[in-house]
Structure 1
């Protein structure tokens, strides 16, 4: 009979941690927001919208770039 309180020495390779699914979603989401915000920043600059609108999209774009860089360095092999 197996001991239910014993911790196995080798982890089961078929069991994925819960946070692995979040990692697979985060990077494409960041790329999508980056592309949309960069395009919106360009459109707001061309169309002559108020400067605060362009600055807002620029800040979102820079935030996505920073988050992608941090994500890359934390999860590289």
Structure 2
């Protein structure tokens, strides 16, 4: 490979090829999106459970929001443990 064959990524000029959509270092993967969604569900359901406690709501509402929190948190744990393998 000669010096002229090597393209300097910091050189100003026309790019050789643009990366496809969804590729490249700035792309967000499905796993990242799912993890963000699960953390959002955990936080929102925990806040809802706390608000229901302060409001004196019925027990089934507490159980439902607690169950959602536990399922989302459990899914995060399982994904983290599988990611270690």
Fold-level match, TM-score > 0.5? Answer: yes
| Alignment of 1:53 onto 2:61 | yes
How far 1:33 sits from its partner (Å)?
A: 0.3
TM-score (norm 2): 0.64
| Deviations 1:1-52, CA, capped at 9 Å, x for gaps | xxxxxxxxxxxxxx79xxx822121101000000000000011011011110
Inter-partner Cα distance in structure 2 for 1:47 and 1:23? 36
Alignment of 1:33-52 (within 5 A): 33-52=41-60
- Give the structure with the larger helix fraction: 1
Q: How many residues are paired up?
A: 60
> What 5-or-longer segments of structure 1 have no aligned partner?
1-14
C-alpha RMSD of matched pairs (Å) = 1.9
TM-score (norm 1): 0.70
> What 5-or-longer segments of structure 2 have no aligned partner?
1-22
2:74 to 66, 69, 76: 66
Inter-partner Cα distance in structure 2 for 1:75 and 1:69? 10
